[in-house]
Chains A and B, each alone.
Chain A
Amino acid sequence: MKRLTTLLAASAAIVFASAGGAAAQMDKVKACFIYVGPVGDFGWSYQHDQGRQQVEEELGDKVETAFLESVPEGADAERAIERFARSGCNIIFTTSFGYMDATNAVAGRFPDVKFEHATGYKREHDNVSTYNSKFYEGRYVQGVIAGQLTESNTIGYIASFPIPEVVRGINSFYIGAKSVNPDIKVNVVWANTWFDPGKEADAAKALVDQGADIITQHTDSTAPMQVAADRGIKAFGQASDMINFGPETQLTAIVDDWGPYYVERVKALLDGNYEQSDTWHGFAEGNVRMAPYTNMPDDVKADAEEAEKKITSDELEPFSGPLKKQDGSDFLAEGTRADDGTLLGMNFYVEGIEGDLPK
């Protein structure tokens, strides 16, 4: 009988808590994370997991975390997300673009669970928020560096999949490089994978064989950095500071820092002031950092720091007019900037980039 009373009391508490809706405070939050690669990739998923660990450190016993790694994008993801939703997670971070539809589908079935989808743009339900970082700001700075350092005027760019995130990065890199070197050529190879060290290395080799003397990548492993070191050229790190893999090779790296955002969101849920949101932070908010500028002359370093500073203070925006699309049609008029919607759905190259964008 006593047990029954406890049970009744517990369910009453649950009913009360859910009646309170989003405003209710919580004693403990279970935060769950879904990663597209292994946590040991030392790139994208690794950085998200660093963020998860920061949540645990800062919120201590008020939070419990769990993660699933190497979850394939697409239909498979839906099962993984649903499993988390059923297992008592209060907030689920799905950390890859390809989880977009799966996240929204599961969110519709679990209205009491909060869903946070990284790098996407669909918020079909009240409990889905999206967040992203303006990595393209870092790509612009990389372009400024590469444009000045290249001797062959050819930069090798290892791309993963033709999604807006990646296309935006290529465009921003090119615009940055073009601003200092009118003859610059960006040679894009699509690896069609986020994480396959062997294939990424092969792509880097192919680019070097075809004349690239600086490599940059939008895939997640350190393999291209090693190929660059091996071939005696320069490269940019991706997602993590990869200087260990190329002490004399890495120029800088775009470092993702997800920790502050994760802590903020979980804390909001604990405090009862969680709201649906669409967050897109960059240099200014500290979500995107540049690793130390190394292996370059001082004047190039000064230009890079200058560009970083101007972007941080909003004096400079990579996507500002006049800009044309690859096919010669108008993109941005003089004095205008691209709005977030255009940037988030970007599916075209800017004028000057060679090659076709795969559809």
Chain B
Amino acid sequence: MLEAILISIATAATPLFLAAIGELVAERAGVLNLGVEGMMAMGAVTGFGVGLATGSPAIGALAAIVVGAVFSQLFAFLTLTLASNQVATGLALTLLGLGISGQIGEAYVGQPGIRMGPVFLGLDPIFWFSLLLLVAVAWFLFHTKPGLKIRAVGDSHVSAHALGVPVIAIRYGAVAFGGACAGLAGAYLSLVYTPQWVEAMTSGRGWIALALVVFASWRPVRVLVGAWLFGAITIGQLQVQAMSLSTITGLPAPFDSIVGALKAVPSQFLSSLPYLATVLVLVLISRNRRLALVNTPASLGQPFVPDR
């Protein structure tokens, strides 16, 4: 049973992690892209459709990565080349993505999709890939020269520009990476988590991913911790609800009393626990002013127009 629960948690955490790690890179480069939800929806419909057409979930996932990256370039063009407001443009991207995906996906409603099955320890290839991705991103951002440039662009685009770093080009790349990750996260929903397409199936996970980036104070490993914490609370509260009283009294101490106490808590409150935990962590982080300043990309959300 424990194994099944852990797999459920991993499945719930993976799409959040994927979308958040991509957004982290974009934000490290100073770009706040609120379009994660829309990019995920585009990835979900692409992954489903291509997977169904080709019969291969892997090709579906790859297509979702490409579409996510391409779709994000619309945002990049508007905010980076035309220097539009990032918050407003990101929101527009979310609405656009949800709308277009619903339109494209109309023909897929009511059709079962294909599933990307488990390959190792009951978990699917995308989960294992996401762990590799974590290592790669953490190493790339903090131990390579291009990674340093990304962080420099995010911290002070004016200084980076003065040093000859191609600010706009790097930001295009970072946004594309964010889009690719969000696309894969979407494909995870429509190929692994719930192999089907229904409109708006992302159900706000893009927004949770955005909160996770702040929750993680822009550190890759903490994104994984946050995603797992979020997944564990979500799955845990459902499991507690489903447990019968006889199962609970059979648990070893002190779990029996803990679970028993949780069982008495109204389910509405349990459902809101992941969000409450996020708010709590955000409060704790922002209380420590120095910590917040050290990690927050200083140019986050500011448009950059090279004047010379």
Q: A: which residues have CB within 8 A of B?
A: 37-42, 46, 69-70, 156, 185, 187-193, 195-203, 205-207, 209-212, 221-223, 226, 230, 240, 244-245, 354, 356, 358-359
Contact = CB atoms under 8 A, between A and B. Distances in A.
B198 A206 contact: no
B267 A192 contact: yes
B268 interface: yes
A209 B268 contact: no
B203 A210 contact: no
Contact of A190 (B4, B234, B241, B264): B241
Nearest to A208: B4
A34 B83 CA distance: 37
Given A190-B267, A221-B201, A358-B268, 11 more contacts: A188-B241, A197-B198, A199-B203, A199-B234, A201-B193, A202-B235, A206-B241, A209-B239, A210-B242, A221-B194, A240-B110
B198 A221 contact: yes
B200 interface: yes
B102 A38 contact: yes
A192 B4 contact: no
Contacts, number: 126
Contacts of A40: 102, 105-106, 109, 197-200
B19 to A, nearest CB: 13
A203 B236 CA distance: 10
Interface of B: 1, 4-5, 8, 12, 15, 102, 105-106, 109-112, 115, 189, 193-201, 203-205, 234-235, 238-239, 241-245, 247, 264, 266-268, 271
Contacts of B15: 198
20 contacts: A38-B198, A38-B199, A69-B199, A189-B242, A189-B267, A192-B271, A198-B193, A199-B203, A201-B193, A202-B12, A206-B8, A209-B242, A210-B247, A221-B198, A221-B201, A222-B198, A223-B196, A226-B194, A230-B115, A354-B244
Contacts of B5: 209
Contacts of A356: 264
A40 B190 CA distance: 14
A199 B15 CA distance: 13
B200 A70 contact: yes
B189 A198 contact: yes
Secondary structure call for the A interface: mixed
Nearest to B110: A42
B112 A245 contact: yes
A193 B238 CA distance: 13
Contacts of B247: 210
B189 A197 contact: yes
Nearest to A41: B198
Of all A-B residue pairs in the complex, the 5 with the closest CB atoms, nearest first, are A38-B199, A40-B199, A190-B267, A206-B238, A192-B271
A38 B200 contact: yes
Nearest to A242: B110
Given A185-B244, A197-B198, A206 B112 contact: no
Nearest to B239: A206
A223 B203 CA distance: 13
B234 A202 contact: yes
Contacts of A221: 194, 196, 198, 201
A234 to B, nearest CB: 17
Nearest to A210: B242
A200 B238 CA distance: 10
Contacts of A200: 194
A226 B196 contact: yes
A35 to B, nearest CB: 11
Contact of B243 (A42, A210, A223): A210
A206 B259 CA distance: 15
A244 B112 contact: yes
A358 B265 CA distance: 9
Nearest to A229: B112
A187 B196 contact: no
A33 B61 CA distance: 36
Contact of B194 (A70, A156, A198): A198
Contacts of B205: 198
A240 B198 CA distance: 13
Contacts of B105: 40
A185 B243 CA distance: 12
B5 to A, nearest CB: 6
A156 B242 CA distance: 8
Contacts of B200: 37-38, 40-41, 70, 195
Which of B241, B242, B264 has the most chain A CB within a 10 Å cutoff? B242
A277 B123 CA distance: 54
A359 B111 CA distance: 37
A206 B266 contact: no
B266 A358 contact: yes
Contact of B111 (A189, A197, A201, A244): A244
A212 to B, nearest CB: 8
B26 to A, nearest CB: 24
A192 B105 CA distance: 26
Nearest to A224: B194
Contacts of B241: 188-190, 206
Contacts of A188: 241
A211 B1 CA distance: 10
B272 to A, nearest CB: 8
Contact of A46 (B8, B102, B109, B111): B109
A245 B245 contact: no
Nearest to A45: B199
B203 A195 contact: yes
Nearest to B196: A222
Contacts of B203: 193, 195-199
A41 B238 contact: no
